[in-house]
Structure 1
Amino acid sequence: MLRSMYAGISGMKNFQTKLDVIGNNIANVNTSGFKKGRVTFQDMMSQMVSGAEGPVPGNRGGVNAAQVGLGSQVGSIDNIQTQGNRQTTNRTLDLSLEGDGLFVVGRNLIDGATLGIDLQQSDVSFTRSGNFYLDNDGNIVNSDGLYLLGEGSEDAAGTGDFILNGELNKIAIPADAASFSIADNGTVNYVDPQGNTQIAGQIRLASFSNPGGLERTGSNSFRLTDNAGAFNDGDDLLNNINDLVTPGEQGSASIVSGSLEMSNVDLAEEFTEMITAQRAFQSNTKIITTSDEILQELVNLKR
């Protein structure tokens, strides 16, 4: 059979994958915290027709290799972690990140227990989607009920003044709080019934050297992989509060309360890529039909 037919098939499969990624991008154009995908291609192996030869002094010059390519393959499907546009909502628990970093959310937490090395990595997710809420116990959670993690607080001196305790935990706002606010460094403050400002905790962020190495898990969340980069202690495990960074420090993002980071999908770019992929798909189908016509001519030679 003709090699061009198989090359056309590989091209059709690859551009179908590209159209799948483009379709997912367009479907999530209004999804908060969504990061678009991108497909890159590579050529497949090439069949050697004749090898390269060096020059023969006084006789002839060198000859290049002659190779026939056998199609293309998907090289990578990348997560593009660029900043999305910020949309103002004026809602205190809508948080957007201005810069690098991701919120850390978790589950399977016991009241009064701090998080540590016993926390399973499967129970921790990372997200740029900052639409948070308060549950019945006053804990800050996302739309899936996962707790927003950060540095907890406690009344260490027993005086009624709460301070940060240096431990990784969920952040809760007391039910009798008159109001609360979130600063750009992640500090969650509330006003107690006596009119005093107290600290409920401080939101911490995860910073990765290769955020594109995170794995999508759905629900606007990512999962840690071995290629995402190490935490602050040099390993790939979230063990304690020291593995996370304070917003606005160490080159991490600052938090903007009352706004949401929207998708970084550019519709004009996606439609352009879609037209290119569609035409490339059609061109590969034309290769197959042309190859089929040639084979038909060969079959008709006997007639």
Structure 2
Amino acid sequence: MFDTINIGTTGLLTHAQGLRTVGNNLANVNTPGFKSGQLAFTDLFNQGAGGGQPEGPGTGGSGTGLGTLGTHINFKAGLDTSTGNPLDLNIDGNGFYAIERDGQILYTRAGGFHFDEKGILVNAAGEHVKALADGKLVDVNVETLNHSAPKATAKVTFHGNLTSTVTTPPINPSLRSIAVYDADGVNRPINLSFKNTGGGAFEVTVTDAAGATLTTGTIKFASGFPVADANSVSFSYAPAGTQAFDVRLDFSDNVTSLVDQTTLSMASQDGYTAGVRTDQSIDGNGTIKLFYSNGQTGDGPRLALANFRSASELEERSGSAFALKEGGQATYGHAGDATFGTLRAGHLEGSNVDLAEEFGNLILMQRGYQASSHVISTANEMIQQLFDMARR
């Protein structure tokens, strides 16, 4: 009878532990990146314990109650949630983010990130998110990428029509004060004028903002379209106080001389002034994309992803994170590489807790605990009856 009470006690303790696991799952139903656990039950036996009784067919050990094989973590992907934050990431496929906590590398699927005041990418707890550079894990730091250097204009392209019916075509206002940047990013505007010299040829005069002539060149048209070896004008521009730089005026694409109206205007130019970082995001390959006030973009570090031979190499830590067990091995790479998934910006991976399953487990834990308590109560009553018989 006393053994029966011990058996009932193991049932109480184990189902209470199971209830704790279920309760933890339900409590974290809205925790990003949380992985649910399930307590594995096992029966306990004393092998060959027969109490002096002969063993017959089908006999064996004597049951001694209920135990556990530990909590198994379910690593299936959690619910995808759209957040609209370009620094929130969801891994579509295999992989874990690598984060640093108290000098130790941990792994997580929770991808809610932001840049701290030092320009370092961190998670909600302020732990540094790691990038992979030259095979090493490094911090994602954009502080050194706050500025975009200026670039001198090397090419200006045009589009539209240049009338061939008058000697001096009227100038489109957009051909006045055309932005041209020197090596320091300073705008040194130029003006263009044209003169029809006959036979489809036009003399192009380039002047600076003060009206001084910088160069004169010729472009030619055949049947209204630019001639390949006469479709641009080049000159060296040396504004006062700055280093000379070469500029090519390109009329080769989308420029015609077909109709009376002149619509010629600048299409683009490749120079720009200095800029400061105004925004950042992360693309599907984990590359930090930087945006600058001068309209330029740049690439920063690329996030590291980790993978493992087996999920059993991981052990749970707080904050939806996991540590590598002793003897475990992590393989690092980038999103989109062979064994790694891609990233979805503006999305988070939520908890993978299945509410229907957990409420079912909640009932099972309650019934198991209740049954174990009945076993103890019944055994106690039988022992009491035995003592009453002995007293009589």
Same fold (TM over 0.5): yes
Paired position in structure 2 for 1:279 = 367
Give the C-alpha shift of residue 101 in structure 1. Answer: 1.3
- Are the aligned partners of 2:131 and 2:137 in contact in 1 as well (CA < 8 Å)? yes
Give the C-alpha shift of residue 52 in structure 1. Answer: 5.9
Give the C-alpha shift of residue 151 in structure 1. Answer: 2.7
Give, in whole Å, the separation in 1 of the partners of 2:321 and 2:61. Answer: 45
1:134 alignment partner AA: F
Give the C-alpha shift of residue 107 in structure 1. Answer: 5.3
Give, in whole Å, the separation in 1 of the partners of 2:26 and 2:59. Answer: 43
- Counterparts of 1:111-260 in structure 2, within 5 Å, are 122-152=103-133, 167-173=136-142, 174-175=145-146, 176-226=276-326, 229-232=328-331, 244-260=332-348
Paired position in structure 1 for 2:226 = none
1:31 alignment partner AA: T
2:374 alignment partner AA: K
- Counterparts of 1:21-100 in structure 2, within 5 Å, are 21-46=21-46, 48-49=49-50, 63-100=57-94
- Are the aligned partners of 2:8 and 2:376 in contact in 1 as well (CA < 8 Å)? yes
Provide structure 2 residue ranges, at least 5 long, that are not aligned to the other structure: 147-275
- Are the aligned partners of 2:45 and 2:61 in contact in 1 as well (CA < 8 Å)? no
- Are the aligned partners of 1:184 and 1:255 in contact in 2 as well (CA < 8 Å)? yes
- Are the aligned partners of 2:131 and 2:139 in contact in 1 as well (CA < 8 Å)? yes
Give, in whole Å, the separation in 1 of the partners of 2:363 and 2:338. Answer: 42
Provide TM-score, normalisation by structure 1.
0.79
Deviates more, 1:99-108 or 1:12-21: 99-108
Give, in whole Å, the separation in 2 of the partners of 1:103 and 1:223. Answer: 12
- Are the aligned partners of 1:180 and 1:188 in contact in 2 as well (CA < 8 Å)? yes
Residues 53-106 of structure 1, C-alpha deviation per residue, up to 9 Å, x if partnerless?
7xxxxxxxxx44343211111112111111101000110111111122110012
Count the aligned residue pairs.
257
Provide structure 1 residue ranges, at least 5 long, that are not aligned to the other structure: 54-62, 109-121, 153-164, 233-243
Give the C-alpha shift of residue 267 in structure 1. Answer: 1.0
Find the partner of 1:296 among 363, 371, 384: 384
Classify 1:167/1:74 alpha carbon distance in 2 versus 1 (closer, same or farther; 3 Å).
Answer: closer
2:67 alignment partner AA: Q
Paired position in structure 2 for 1:241 = none
Deviates more, 1:284-293 or 1:178-187: 178-187
1:191 alignment partner AA: F
Identical counterparts, % of pairs: 30
Higher relative strand content: 2
- Are the aligned partners of 1:51 and 1:64 in contact in 2 as well (CA < 8 Å)? no
Paired position in structure 2 for 1:17 = 17
1:266 aligns with 2:354: yes
Give, in whole Å, the separation in 1 of the partners of 2:281 and 2:58. Answer: 70
